[in-house]
Structure 1
Amino acid sequence: MILITGATGTVGSEVIKALLPAQAGNLRVLTRDPGAVFPDGAQKVVADLGDSDLTPVLDGVHAVFSITHGLNIAAHDRRLVAAAQRAGVERIVKLSVRSVGHDGADPITTLHRAGEEAIRDSGIGWSFLRPTGFMSNALNWAGMIAADQVVYAPFAAGRAAVVDPADIAAVAVACLTQDGHDHRIYELTGPDPLSPADQVTLLGEVLSRDLRYVEADPAGMVSQMVSYGMPEEEAQAVIELFRSTLEPYNSEPTNDVAAVTGRPARSFTDWAKAHRAEFPTPDAVQDAATGGESR
């Protein structure tokens, strides 16, 4: 049995899609949401890594894909590891961040580093996936693009070889189901170092729209995340992780996706083409607001 934590998230949902249908009946997914719906072949378990009894969650599990987030990353990793040891789990694949291996000292990187250490010390076989920023973060710009075709985002000077979450999932599946990945660390990137302005330009080409990028104040992004319900301390931590795009290592592509999967990492342009429908046009937004009435 394979267990996926963080199953409703960006990467977790991609891993589930990549494992099915081959692992149907051999896949357990963990969620805190009793109403969450998953594809046929995945067994849903409702629990919380922070306070639930994880013994039944891990019963019969031989491999775990661990996705933890927020300011509880290390605490949740430690609870999961302790339960995995008791259950006789053979392999843990952890989704971490690239900055762990490059002396990152921001809060989220520090928490992931502590989580990795707990897994290393457990005696369980492990693989660590350390991606750079996700291409899918560009979906956060969809509302701005539909409204006035201007994207506001911080750190204009930052460049990152952003990666498709589906490529992360493909590597995760290999680590979960194949031998040869124990005690391996994979830094997962896309093929091209891109600034926010570069991404906006490529999106404009794919969407056939004249898009523009404007650098935003990081403090304003923190306020926006807080307005959406994120605790301020966590929002500050997220911004500090985003600030790592200013570090040179984030702009350096690796070959790890290809080395594990046997195919090149997807480009941002190809990702954008695949997700074109998730960027509504201004007319679509207007139609939705007016109930589909013509103007």
Structure 2
Amino acid sequence: MILVTGATGTVGRALIDQLRTAGERVRATSRQPADAQLPADVEVVRADLGDPSQMAAAMRGVDRVFLLSTGPAIPEHDAIVARAAADAGVERLVKLSSGRTGDDTATDPIPTWHRAGEQSVRTSGVPWTIVRPLGFMSNALHWAGTIRVRGAVYAPYGQGRIAVIDPRDIAAVAAVALTADGHDGQVYTLSGPQALSPGEQTAVLGEVLGRSLEFVEVAPEQARQAIVEHGVPAEMADAIMALRATALAAFTSVVHDTVERLTGAPPRTFRQWAIDHAAEFRSAAA
């Protein structure tokens, strides 16, 4: 049985779908199982990654684990999950990390949190694989509201480019690492097929939606305030803005062949992702 944490997010849900298609038995953790809305054949258990006793219970009968944790508690949560996996005799653990963790110059919060989490996984005694995507195509969904209402995208660091990846391709690599031999002790940096700026992503979205969209570069301070106003704690808002600033670094624009090499299929383009999610950017009137 495979335990999937972060099961209701974009990567976790895609991974569950792929594992079910492959005939794997899946258990998912959720703090609110009644709201998880996962397929009926997925066993959903109540568990908080920060609760050692709940994670120990979730590990019973599990032989492989997918670890997805977020926010400032990443170091603590990863340590708890890794320890529980080791105590349960888990045979394989795949951790979703951050692409920036592989950049030695990155000292901002998110890669720093993930480095600590990776260290707990590496020293747990459980055979491990670490997956490091450079950036998520699904982050463009944050623009859906202003696209629907104003026909515009407002974002900082307009000159920055990131080789963003479809979460389904991240899940596909994780599924391979969980179900096939030969991936123990490997660190995989993942990217999509092309590095794109926010303006270039906006242009693709406009073409897919059949409407003219405007890209407006905003100051980082304005972008941070918008994040806070959406209810994100200040510490996390600062971390998100620090990560966004790394789009200006060359590291995040490098295209890697990892997805095709491991899965046999090329990574999806941003246009493909946009076509699949077009309805989320269209207004009810449209």
Task: Specify the TM-score bucket, using the shorter chain as the normaliser.
Answer: over 0.9
Contact 1:23–1:41 (CA<8 Å) still a contact in 2?
Answer: no
Alignment of 1:212-231 (within 5 A): 212-231=214-233
4+ residue runs of structure 1 moved beyond 4 angstroms? none
Equivalent position to 2:191, from 189, 207, 224: 189
Give the number of aligned pairs.
Answer: 283
Question: Would the alpha carbon gap of residues 244 and 212 (structure 1) be closer, same or farther in structure 2, given more than 3 Å must change?
Answer: same
TM-score norm. by structure 1 comes to 0.93
Structure 2 residue 95 is matched with structure 1 residue 97: no
Q: CA deviation at 1:132?
A: 1.1
What percentage of residue pairs aligned between the two structures are identical?
47
Deviations 1:220-268 (A, max 9, x none): 2222222222211111111111211111011110000000100111111
Q: What is the rounded CA distance, in whole Å, between the counterparts of 1:140 and 1:210 in structure 2? A: 18
Q: Amino acid of the residue matched to residue 232 of structure 1?
A: A
Which residue of structure 1 lines up, in the alignment, with residue 253 of structure 2? 251
Alignment of 1:1-295 (within 5 A): 1-23=1-23, 26-35=25-34, 36-53=36-53, 54-103=55-104, 104-281=106-283, 283-284=285-286
Q: What is the rounded CA distance, in whole Å, between the counterparts of 1:82 and 1:257 in structure 2? A: 29
TM-score norm. by structure 2 comes to 0.96
Contact 2:5–2:30 (CA<8 Å) still a contact in 1?
Answer: yes
Q: CA deviation at 1:55?
A: 1.5
Structure 1: segments with no counterpart, 5+ residues:
285-295
Q: Which moved more, 1:217-226 or 1:126-135?
A: 217-226
Q: What is the rounded CA distance, in whole Å, between the counterparts of 1:282 and 1:65 in structure 2? A: 37
Q: What is the rounded CA distance, in whole Å, between the counterparts of 2:252 and 2:242 in structure 1? A: 14
Q: CA deviation at 1:43?
A: 0.3
Q: What is the rounded CA distance, in whole Å, between the counterparts of 1:45 and 1:209 in structure 2? A: 44
Backbone CA RMSD of aligned residues: 1.2
SS at structure 2 position matched to 1:186:
strand
Q: Amino acid of the residue matched to residue 149 of structure 1?
A: G
Which residue of structure 2 lines up, in the alignment, with residue 289 of structure 1? none
Q: What is the rounded CA distance, in whole Å, between the counterparts of 1:200 and 1:22 in structure 2? A: 35
Contact 1:66–1:92 (CA<8 Å) still a contact in 2?
Answer: yes
Structure 2: segments with no counterpart, 5+ residues:
none
Contact 2:209–2:282 (CA<8 Å) still a contact in 1?
Answer: no
Q: CA deviation at 1:123?
A: 1.6
Q: CA deviation at 1:23?
A: 3.4
